[in-house]
Structure 1
């Protein structure tokens, strides 16, 4: 009696603990949702039936021939008094339970605690297990030593929550061992490849991906043509599947965080011995699996590991919580990409991409790049104006007093003499021109990278540099006319009382060829800038990615800004020369005839330091501009993703796992219930506890 009371108190305490995580939950909203499903009134209080809770609210088992016993067991997790009806207090208590760190174990415990006394007896455990799909396929020996150790020799011992959590952790491994023993009738320590396949497809099916099932487990003669599977191999194989997250960490330790670096077996073993207890046999199996699935030839990359085991429970919940946070903060960029309906999938496969498809892909990227470029340019335009005026300022001894002492002084004087809008002189032609300029740069970089990228998504450093250089060179056809007009408008405000200069008058004065004055200097600036920037951005972004390779928009922004610092600063001399060539020289100022002449005269009259004028302003302009531009470009690709068969930005996909039973994400799942489906699915993916969906056995699909 005392143990029963103690167990109930523990269960209630866990619910109170969950309530502590729900201080922000809207109780009134939760009650409104509860009433939508509460169709039964008992003793003046509304209740939800087991069927309505599982089938209507959770959206599980919604087939006509659903298994009523399974529905009753799942509803019993919430129905603490086990009367077949769920009150609001029980509904709210389970919401709190879903928010505690050990929600999966507590949910599993309440599944087996069928009488609701806060303790699990052997009879309760056996009753639930005998109803599972696994037990029907391969019955577990309820008289085994393992069971007696937990429930006592006479199986009368009641198990507490903490003890049962350890039991569940060990139980499925014991299930595999029991299955091996049944197949090894002679006690040789070996089973046939067919028995191995049967055990893995029944007892360990929840650990297998579709590819692993079809290409490895069902492959004749696996492993390596052997007809017999030893017990050590069986245990190592299952240990490997259970510890894939640790395997990934070993890989990242071996590559210092890089996900595309190839790792040999020897390098992996060395890393494993430094940080884990992974055995050489497990490593052998790992490399055999990767080679079977991907033809890795003894070298693996991070993506090879992702296809070995399905996403586990805690990954599903973590990513589901990330999605919930994104929704609550209204940050759509963190959600699963909005996928535009893609008619191309109906026309041809990615291997059959033709010229038309590639043109459509380029147009798509060009459009998104145009929008991103306009956003980035607008964000930093005042800094760009200050940079231009600082670079155009002559400091020769015969020029007289300089207009601006530094960039900050220039900024203040522009506002004082020309107003706030003076900081945006030349913005309109900038926006007109920056769209195709940035679009062509981003598009060409992506297309060239695609050409050099292998099937695993790897690209060598020289190809990254070449792609960036091509991008920088291709944009000059738009950049030069844009910049010469912009620069002349930006410096026009320096002349007091001067007639207002308009973009169209500048274009007419320059003519077609005049618009390309300084084009050589523009090439000298833009080609090395992009050759530095894009590879730096790709590598910094990879460093900032989380353990799943995903980049939060803030990490994209930071990566873009950091990559812009070396790129913008190192090409400042070319930018100074370009500015001097494109600005109209005033009375008394030196004129220049080409890049070499400008370089020689600037050095002779102003010294080497003149080539670095405006470097700080340039870094403060280019660095955040490209950060904003690229984060906008990648977010647009996430939100409006169309699959043309090419590549998409790495780190762009936040895979919110879709559990087996989850078909919709209900808007009325708030608070803890937003992770209800992943938690319930975790009973299968973590413990292999799968309840039958149908009231009768359906015929197998042919």
Structure 2
């Protein structure tokens, strides 16, 4: 809605050579750029003139059509010595100033501090204001009580930087009210819709997108039911513009962090009252504007406002794209999933080995002392007897299988989510669960052969023999059908695991996202790890049964013919607790593994993003709000501070109601 709310852009922070938006400027590089534009030389030292800085370097104005006073005023921001020339030290200081978070206020202060004494007087303020287009169009009463409160009744009080920054903020709002007061000549409390439009575009244009500007009259007419705008509506409209970040927080509160969910006006109002005071009139204006901008029809109490409040763009349905494009997208996701799966598996493989050996350790049917007292004891004994590489027994077949296994799981989950998502980008919880279950079921074709080979290699180290067990030997021994022994138990484990994991991950990630919906790598990793805890622990019994079915029973150990048979015998011989053997090791393996896998997968999609017209992970882009239309630097020499501050300088000519003469006043004037 407001420009600072709805015009969004991606902040690029790359320092890579030759690329990146925000490039850091070294002193040598900055000196070279200064020398390039400095056309005046005095006592062997180069200086920039006002035209050099504003016209040639900043490229703010048309070199063939500009106002000399405007150029002088803007250059005076840098020219702190007020001698009409800009030295390198002043240029360097200005670049540094622009890196401050309050750069806009600092530069505005230097603009009004025309004599450079570090204070702003009433006469300096008037000197700048009288040269602005806005003052000529909508004169501000310089004798108003508001001005007297800051500069004193005699207007001799000098204002410091911090005081002046507050003055500018308040002046911006006071100017809008002054505009209404001047338009309401008869004191009726009403102005015409055309006057409302003129005031908003003249004074608050930097808070309005072009789309909103074109709908101002329509919005006011629908809300006010006529051709006039009341003062309460005017104030509510301006208040809404100034509090769009609050509006977004209210929306995220009512949706419990979900950024693609429809809310009713009543739901939004309840949340607004719980968090802070937002008037019913402001909410009415908000929903009315969303209705107009999105053309959602005549419904008054249920409108989609996500594009305005959460900066989420509705995506086209996958079915709207060609089959070939969908295949390419699936291939792309499969490739990234393979890499992510391999990284995740390698990171936690030693824990997986310990988990497998703990689950295979029997009691009740095998006479003899337990080999391992606990997971930590198992870990120590593997290193002692088999060396550090013993922790990685079976890793090669694991990597050969885990790549397609994790890839197909991640790809199918994304694919099914796309298919079940409605045209507005919403996905119900039951649809998330179905997508996860489908992902878990689809992976078994790769998981079972992989795990049966891996498990037999992992437990081989427990048996002292001169023969080294190799993966290919296990495969030949099992045969094609043998590779799918325990597949039912594998399904019983993987389907509920994924049905729990993926929805939990999506919702946890949303909770950890910042107010702009962005997830850092750390929050992605933590979200993946947290989601893995309930998913991994709750399916441990199925994992125990699968492990028992897939290992080769040694002499004296119980054998099992199937899932039900294994369940009965394990319970009869070892009790209920046996089904939770290795649960801790499983959580410590699965939780970080999927955390590493998911953060790798999402970062790969983030940095190797290819737009196929489908969805991409939410929270994958740092989206922030800009003030005005965001553009990249026009000049490759715009580096360092200027590049950093560009977002806040977009539309600077109308910020704070200043509206400096920029293009409208010709050189001849």
The TM-score range, normalised by the shorter chain, is 0.7 to 0.9
Deviations, residues 58-87 of structure 1 (Å, cap 9, x unaligned): 564476656554443332212101223222
**Partners of 2:388 and 2:305 in 1: how far apart?**
51
User: Would the aligned equivalents of 2:352 and 2:589 in 1 still touch at CA under 8 Å?
Assistant: yes
Q: Are residues 1:198 and 2:198 paired?
A: yes
C-alpha separation between the residues in 2 aligned to 1:668 and 1:462? 53
Please say if 1:676 is aligned against 2:645. yes
Q: Please identify, of 80-89 and 634-643, the stretch whose mean Cα deviation from structure 2 is larger.
A: 80-89
- 8 Å contact kept, 1:95–1:673: yes
Greater CA deviation, 240-249 or 188-197?
188-197
Q: Is the 8 A contact 1:104 1:682 kept in 2?
A: no
Q: Is the CA contact (8 Å cut-off) linking 1:576 and 1:611 kept in structure 2?
A: yes
Shift of 1:397: 5.1
In structure 2, the partner of 1:522 is: 490
- Structure 1 pair 249–307 and aligned structure 2 pair: CA distance change class (3 A): closer
**Structure 1 CA distance for aligned equivalents of residues 83 and 65 of structure 2:** 23
Which residue pairs with 1:239 in the alignment? 239
2:306 aligned with 1:303, yes or no?
Answer: yes
| 3-state secondary structure, aligned to 1:475 | helix
CA distance in 2 between partners of 1:409 and 1:465 (Å): 37
Distance 1:459 1:52, change over 3 A: same
Report the CA distance shift for 1:237/1:439 in structure 2 as closer, same or farther (over 3 A): same
**Which residue of the partner structure matches residue 532 of structure 1?**
500
TM-score normalised by length of structure 2: 0.86
Structure 2 distance, partners of 1:685, 1:515, is 71
Number of the residue aligned with 1:249? 249
Closer, same or farther: CA 454–519 of 1 in aligned 2, 3 Å:
same
SS of 1:404's equivalent?
Answer: coil
Do the aligned partners of 2:203 and 2:654 also contact (CA within 8 Å) in 1? no
Distance 2:247 2:541 in 1: 48
For residues 48 and 307 of structure 1, what CA distance do their matches in structure 2 show?
44
2:464 maps to what in 1? 496
Aligned to 2:410: 442
Q: Separation in 2 of the partners of 1:64 and 1:115? A: 29
Corresponding residue SS for 1:191: strand
CA distance in 1, matches of 2:301, 2:65: 49
> Bigger shift: 619-628 or 88-97?
88-97
What displacement does 1:473 show?
0.5
Decide whether aligned partners of structure 1 residues 430 and 349 sit closer, same or farther in structure 2, where only a CA change above 3 A counts. closer
Q: C-alpha separation between the residues in 2 aligned to 1:155 and 1:350?
A: 65
User: Residues 424 and 350 (structure 1 numbering): CA distance in 2 closer, same or farther, change over 3 Å?
Assistant: closer
User: What's the CA shift string for 1:330-386, capped at 9, x where partnerless?
Assistant: xxxxxxxxxxxxxxx9xx998841212211111111111111111111111111111
The C-alpha deviation readout for 1:143-193, integer Å capped at 9, x for no partner, is: 552575245667665444344323311222232223323433433222222
- Residue 333 of structure 2 is matched in structure 1 by 365
- Residue 483 of structure 1 corresponds to 451
Higher relative contact order (CA 8 A, sep 6+): 2
Aligned-residue offset at 1:558: 0.3
Q: How far does residue 288 in structure 1 lie from its aligned partner after superposition?
A: 2.0
1:479 Cα deviation after fit: 0.8
List per-residue Cα deviations over 1:113-137 (Å, max 9, x = no partner). Answer: 223233334443344334445446x
Matches within 5 A, 1:81-92: 81-92=81-92
Question: Secondary structure in 1 aligned to 2:458?
Answer: helix
Q: Distance in 1 between matches of 2:94 and 2:220?
A: 47
Report the CA distance shift for 1:488/1:134 in structure 2 as closer, same or farther (over 3 A): farther
User: Which stretch of the first structure deviates more once superposed, 592-601 or 280-289?
Assistant: 280-289
Is the contact between residue 445 and residue 471 of structure 1 (CA under 8 Å) also seen in structure 2? yes
Further displaced range: 633-642 or 220-229: 220-229
Q: Which residue of 2 aligns with 1:388?
A: 356
Change (3 A) 1:67 1:646: farther
Q: Is the 8 A contact 1:549 1:651 kept in 2?
A: yes
- Are the structure 2 counterparts of residues 151 and 405 from structure 1 closer, same or farther at C-alpha, using a change threshold of 3 Å? closer
Tell me the residue number matched to 2:47: 47
Question: 1:520-574, CA deviations, whole angstroms, 9 ceiling, x for partnerless residues?
Answer: 0000000000000011111111111111111111001000000000100110111
Q: Distance in 2 between matches of 1:381 and 1:125?
A: 69
> What secondary structure, in the 3-state scheme, does the structure 1 residue paired with 2:650 have?
helix
Q: Is the CA contact (8 Å cut-off) linking 1:140 and 1:175 kept in structure 2?
A: no
Q: Distance in 2 between matches of 1:648 and 1:500?
A: 45
1:209 offset after TM fit, Å? 2.1
**In 2: Cα distance, 1:84 partner to 1:455 partner:** 59
Q: CA offset at residue 653 of structure 1? A: 1.1
Contact in 1 for aligned 2:262/2:304 (Cα 8 Å): yes
Match status 1:620 vs 2:588: yes
Maintained 8 Å contact 1:98/1:675: yes
Q: How many residues are matched? A: 637
* 1:32-56: CA deviation from partner (whole Å, max 9, x where unpaired): 6655655544334343443444456
How far apart, CA to CA, are the structure 1 residues paired with 2:538 and 2:506? Answer: 19
Partner of 1:663: 632
Which moves more between the two structures, 231-240 or 392-401? 392-401
Contact 1:122/1:151 (<8 A) preserved: yes
> Paired residue for 2:178?
178
> Matches of 2:630 and 2:533 in 1, distance apart?
48
- Conservation of the 8 A alpha-carbon contact between 1:206 and 1:688: no
**Is the 8 Å Cα contact of residues 108 and 683 (structure 1) preserved in structure 2?**
no
Report the more deviating stretch, 506-515 or 192-201. Answer: 192-201
User: What does residue 140 of structure 1 align with?
Assistant: 139
Are the structure 2 counterparts of residues 410 and 162 from structure 1 closer, same or farther at C-alpha, using a change threshold of 3 Å? closer
Determine the structure 2 residue equivalent to 1:572: 540
From 575, 586, 596, the counterpart of 2:554: 586
Alpha carbons of structure 1 residues 292 and 92: separation in structure 2 relative to 1, 3 Å: same
1:600 to 565, 568, 578: 568
Conservation of the 8 A alpha-carbon contact between 1:445 and 1:468: yes
Structure 2 CA distance for partners of 1:461 and 1:154, relative to 1, 3 Å: same
> Structure 1 stretches of 5 or more lacking a match?
1-23, 310-344
Kept in 2, the 8 Å contact 1:216–1:222? The answer is: no
Instruction: Trace 1:140-179 onto structure 2 (pairs within 5 A).
Output: 140-143=139-142, 145=144, 148-149=147-148, 150-151=150-151, 158-179=158-179
**RMSD of aligned residue pairs (Cα, Å):** 3.3
TM superposition shift of 1:457: 3.1
Q: Give SS of 1:82's match.
A: coil
* Partner-residue secondary structure (3-state), 1:115: coil
Moved more, 282-291 or 152-161: 152-161
Whether the aligned pair in 2 keeps the contact of 1:260 and 1:301 (CA below 8 Å) is no
Equivalent pair of 1:200/1:217 in contact (CA under 8 Å): no
Q: Does structure 2 conserve the Cα–Cα contact (< 8 Å) formed by 1:370 and 1:439?
A: yes
Aligned to 2:436: 468
Matched, 1:647 2:650: no
Quick one: structure 1 residues 123 and 422, their matched pair in 2 at CA, closer, same or farther if it must change by over 3 Å? Answer: same
TM-score, with normalisation over the residues of structure 1?
0.82
Partner of 2:11: none
Higher mean C-alpha displacement, 571-580 vs 30-39: 30-39
- 2:372 corresponds to 1:404: yes
- TM-superposed CA distance for 1:589, in Å, is 1.8
Residue equivalent to 1:79? 79
1:58–1:677 Cα contact (<8 Å) kept: no
Contact 2:318–2:419 at 8 Å: present in 1 too? Answer: no
Aligned to 1:104: 104
1:687 equivalenced with 2:656 (yes/no): yes
| 2:336 and 2:604 in contact (8 A); partners too | yes
**Deviation sequence 1:387-429 (CA, Å, 0-9, x none):** 1111111122533122221111111121122221111111111
Q: Is the 8 A contact 2:62 2:663 kept in 1?
A: no
CA distance in 2, matches of 1:64, 1:637: 46
Q: Which moved more, 1:360-369 or 1:87-96?
A: 87-96
